[in-house]
Structure 1
Amino acid sequence: MKLIVGLGNPGKEYEKTRHNAGFCVMDELAKLCHTSIEQKKFNALIGTTQISGEQVMLMKPQTYMNSSGEAVIQAVNFYKIDPKDILVIHDDLDIPVGKLRIRTQGSSGGQKGMQSIMNHLHTQEISRIRVGIDKNPLIPIVDYVLGKVAKEDLKNYEDSVKRAADAAYMSITHSIEEVMNRYNKNE
């Protein structure tokens, strides 16, 4: 089984905020997979599907960003999912709006949801798609990530969300290295 996790915060007040890029990508991915992410399980909203013979779980943790690992570890333990079969999608302040970066391992880069997952799984070897949200030195980070995407950035942001969903979908049937070669090369 493959597990694809989009990070964000639950609740209407967080919808469409920069920090919910992972949730936005998951909504697009659910459309590509012809499924929904509505079942409540593992302190998360999940959806399951089968693609090319591969069982896939889509997850939106409902634990709030900084505790995302609590939801992920429950699914991993229940289904005995290997960390190599997990893909996490999250926002990244160090990448310009409209850009993606895909990695197979490394530090959390300060992204607390990713750090929570790494802490619970005891590994940095977790593939991830980072969706650029940029940063503004004039706005405190917490206020910035919990703010809405600026109108002038909206088209680039929405395009990157769609590309991230396409990359996540490709990861179901292709190696993460192939996904990286395709989606990192033009970034």
Structure 2
Amino acid sequence: MKMIAGLGNPGAEYAQTKHNVGFMLVDALAAYLGAGTWREDFSAYIAEVRIGSEKVFLVKPQTYMNSSGESLGPMLSYYKMDCSDLIVVHDDMDIPAGTTRIRKKGGSGGHNGIKSIIAHTGSENFVRVRIGIGRPPAGWTVIHHVLAPFSAEDAAHIRAAIDFLLPAVTCIVQEGADLAMNRYNPQRKKNQKQEGRHEAEQETSSAAAPE
């Protein structure tokens, strides 16, 4: 079994806010995978799907973001699931809006929802799917930023990011985080090296060409 948990805040007033991109992706996954009815348990909304041979729980904790672990910790324990079976989708201010990153494990990065999960599971060994929301504009607090809706431009980037991540998340479940990171994470350093080599080859070719 696997668990895909999107982080966010419950209530209609938060539904379209930046902090709720985790809920947005899990809702999109439910539609993409043909999930059945949502049920309430473990202070969360839960739907079940199959990805290949895996039974997968789609989970939206209803404890508010900063207490996400209060829902996910007991659920993992009840179903005797290891933290390595957990995939958490959450917002990330440290990357631009609509940018995505898959990370196999690690610390909280200052994200309170991730802090809560680590505190209630005692482990950092779970996959994170990060969706960028960008930094607060000048004069805005972090709270104001994460609890505000996206601009029209950024909303389009987020929709594209969610569409991009649907096969990425199913890849994590079926083929593992390492392959998914290699396939779906940006390859900037590799591309920059290739561009550098290409430029060097052009310079060498230009220098060798007759005038």
| TM more than 0.5 | yes
Q: Secondary structure at the match of 1:48?
A: strand
Aligned twin of 2:151: 150
Matched letter for residue 185 of structure 2: N
Whether contact under 8 Å (2:101, 2:186) holds in the other structure is no
Cα deviation for residue 36 of structure 1 reads 4.3
Aligned twin of 2:136: 136
Cα deviation for residue 131 of structure 1 reads 0.2
Cα deviation for residue 137 of structure 1 reads 4.1
Asked whether 1:110 is paired with 2:110, we answer yes
Report how many aligned residue pairs link the two structures.
Answer: 187
Aligned twin of 1:84: 84
In 2 relative to 1, CA 186–98 (structure 1 residues): closer, same or farther, beyond 3 Å? farther
Q: Bigger CA drift: 54-63 or 148-157? A: 148-157
TM-score by length of 1: 0.96
Whether contact under 8 Å (1:43, 1:63) holds in the other structure is yes
Aligned twin of 2:166: 165
In the alignment, the residues of structure 2 paired with residue 80 and residue 186 of structure 1 have an alpha-carbon distance, to the nearest angstrom, of 36
Q: Secondary structure at the match of 1:107?
A: coil
Q: Deviation digits for residues 6-32 of structure 1, max 9, x if unmatched?
A: 000000000110000000000111112
TM-score by length of 2: 0.85
In the alignment, the residues of structure 2 paired with residue 178 and residue 103 of structure 1 have an alpha-carbon distance, to the nearest angstrom, of 11
Whether contact under 8 Å (1:17, 1:148) holds in the other structure is yes
Whether contact under 8 Å (2:95, 2:134) holds in the other structure is yes
In the alignment, the residues of structure 2 paired with residue 144 and residue 129 of structure 1 have an alpha-carbon distance, to the nearest angstrom, of 20
In the alignment, the residues of structure 2 paired with residue 48 and residue 54 of structure 1 have an alpha-carbon distance, to the nearest angstrom, of 10
In the alignment, the residues of structure 2 paired with residue 155 and residue 111 of structure 1 have an alpha-carbon distance, to the nearest angstrom, of 24
- Structure 2 residue runs of 5 or longer lacking an equivalent are 189-211
Greater helix content: 2
Aligned twin of 2:54: 54
In the alignment, the residues of structure 2 paired with residue 7 and residue 182 of structure 1 have an alpha-carbon distance, to the nearest angstrom, of 24
The percent of aligned pairs where both chains have the same amino acid is 40
User: After TM superposition, where is structure 1 displaced by more than 3 Å over at least 4 residues in a row?
Assistant: none
In the alignment, the residues of structure 2 paired with residue 49 and residue 152 of structure 1 have an alpha-carbon distance, to the nearest angstrom, of 32
Where do residues 30-69 of structure 1 align in structure 2 (5 Å cutoff)? Answer: 30-36=30-36, 38-69=38-69
Q: Secondary structure at the match of 2:87?
A: strand
Aligned twin of 2:70: 70
Matched letter for residue 186 of structure 2: K
Cα deviation for residue 136 of structure 1 reads 2.1
Q: Bigger CA drift: 87-96 or 106-115? A: 106-115
Q: Secondary structure at the match of 2:106?
A: coil
Aligned twin of 1:179: 180
Structure number with larger C-alpha Rg: 2
Cα deviation for residue 95 of structure 1 reads 0.6
Asked whether 1:12 is paired with 2:9, we answer no
